[in-house]
């Protein structure tokens, strides 16, 4: 079935759908540092085989519900302290207004993002919850998701390390959820490392949440941060950790590969951004380690070159908003959807709009959610063109 014959025995085995070891993948990485052409052509081949020439995205509105956070990551500018101008604490009325705007802009996804359990650290967060009638951020998320669904948008929640009961509640309204693994290395949580002051980023804690989402059969988006001081071995181990979870539960719907970009006013502001060559090798490796996975990079974090990643194995651009900024990376605005479409077309790909859940995961959700999707769904399980354009 495959006509591509490569010098690398390991890559030939990958193309023949044969199992290779962790050490083989690491060797492929080392070879690619010298010459990445064979790795890239393998990634291209697998993407074409499993995903064709379609590139998808989700048209979303970003609801920055509350950005206080009990943790501190040395590269993050999302977190706000009480009194800061960027502080966001959305009221029910503000959620409603944003939902109305999102409908007007023909958005499909309502992305709900919060800091990690802010009420555990800040009285202000407790008071905000109380005013709105809730005891916890997770409770408020359940209500906000209900509001979104009622308004005709599909919720996707990314709120850190939720408990199994909280996930179970959100599962009633959320067609999918998200939690970045970031990296599976304990070393990155040691003193002087990026996750030292962020207990929720400890790999064990993150993997447990992902494991719980698997037990509950909720379509899950996860991924890794590339260029935060990890070793190549640690990054391959992180992709393997995701692969292992998916083999066990089958619920990982996509893997985001996010390149680190330094931010002003953070402890890692002088740390260089992920080198593009390295980043492309990692993206290609993710494709060959998980050949049929949906793999995305955020186009706003590679504004000059995102379309070139189509040739290293991606098949998705993630959520893009015509309405709200990327509150996690506010200095990188999203390219316009029509520009992304043009660039994708020039690279030989057709841009299509998906739901926050991929068609192959529709069987995971309730009949009620499935029925709501079917109203604006085309024969491919994607969003009807006349709806999102």
Lowest mean pLDDT among 94-98, 148-152, 224-228: 224-228
CA dist., res. 74 & res. 67, Å (int) = 16
- Region 14-23: what's the mean pLDDT? 93
Query: Of the ranges 179-188, 193-202, 329-338, which is most confident?
Result: 329-338
pLDDT at residue 73, as a whole number: 66
Q: CA angle 269-82-272, nearest 5°?
A: 10
pLDDT-derived band at 190 (thresholds 50, 70, 90) equals low
Better-predicted residue by pLDDT, 52 or 263:
52
pLDDT at residue 342, as a whole number: 94
CA dist., res. 296 & res. 293, Å (int) = 10
Residue matched to tokens 């990376």? 329
Domains of the chain: 47-388 (3.20.20.70)
Which is it for strands 176-178 and 220-226: parallel, antiparallel or unpaired? parallel
pLDDT-derived band at 205 (thresholds 50, 70, 90) equals confident
Helix (H) or strand (E) holding 337: helix 337-346
pLDDT at residue 1, as a whole number: 44
Q: Is 311 exposed, middle or buried (0-12, 13-18, 19+ CB in 10 A)?
A: middle
pLDDT at residue 125, as a whole number: 87
The answer to whether residue 93 scores a pLDDT higher than 80 is yes
pLDDT at residue 198, as a whole number: 63
Q: Tell me what the pLDDT averaged over the chain comes to.
A: 88
pLDDT in tens, 95-109: 999 999 999 999 999
Say how far residue 374 (Cα) sits from the centre of its chain: 24
Is the separation of the CB atoms in 286 and 294 below 8 Å? Answer: no
The answer to whether residue 272 scores a pLDDT higher than 60 is no
């Amino acid at each position: 079935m495959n006509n591509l014959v490569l010098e690398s025995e390991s890559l030939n085995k990958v193309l023949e759908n044969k199992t290779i070891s962790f050490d083989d993948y690491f060797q492929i990485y080392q070879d690619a540092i010298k010459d990445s052409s064979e790795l890239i052509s393998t990634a291209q081949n697998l993407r074409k085989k499993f995903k064709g020439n379609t590139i998808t995205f989700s048209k979303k509105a970003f609801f920055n519900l509350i950005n206080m956070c009990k943790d501190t990551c040395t590269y993050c500018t999302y977190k706000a302290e009480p009194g800061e101008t960027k502080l966001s604490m959305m009221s029910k009325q503000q959620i409603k207004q944003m939902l109305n705007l999102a409908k007007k802009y023909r958005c499909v996804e309502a992305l709900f993002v919060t800091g990690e359990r802010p009420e555990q650290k800040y009285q202000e967060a407790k008071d905000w919850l109380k005013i709105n009638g809730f005891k916890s951020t997770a409770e408020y998320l359940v209500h906000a998701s209900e509001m979104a669904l009622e308004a005709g948008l599909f919720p996707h929640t990314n709120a850190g390390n939720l408990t199994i009961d909280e996930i179970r509640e959100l599962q009633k309204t959320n067609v999918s959820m998200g939690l970045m693994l970031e990296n599976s290395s304990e070393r990155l949580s040691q003193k002087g490392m990026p996750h030292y002051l962020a207990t929720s980023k400890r790999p064990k804690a993150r993997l447990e949440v992902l494991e719980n989402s698997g037990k509950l059969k909720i379509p899950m988006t996860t991924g890794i941060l590339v260029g935060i001081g990890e070793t190549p071995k640690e990054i391959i181990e992180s992709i393997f950790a995701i692969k292992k979870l998916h083999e066990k539960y089958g619920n990982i719907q996509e893997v985001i590969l996010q390149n680190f970009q330094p931010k002003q006013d953070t402890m890692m502001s002088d740390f260089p951004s992920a080198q593009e060559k390295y980043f492309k090798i990692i993206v290609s490796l993710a494709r060959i380690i998980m050949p049929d996975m949906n793999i995305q990079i955020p186009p706003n974090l590679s504004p000059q070159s995102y379309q070139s990643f189509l040739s290293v194995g991606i098949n998705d651009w993630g959520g893009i908003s015509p309405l709200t900024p990327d509150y996690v990376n506010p200095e990188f605005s999203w390219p316009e959807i029509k520009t992304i479409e043009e660039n994708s077309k020039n690279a030989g790909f057709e841009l299509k709009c998906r739901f926050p859940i991929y068609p192959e995961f529709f069987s995971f959700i309730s009949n009620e959610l499935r029925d709501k999707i079917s109203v604006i769904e085309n024969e491919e399980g994607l969003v009807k063109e006349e709806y999102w354009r």
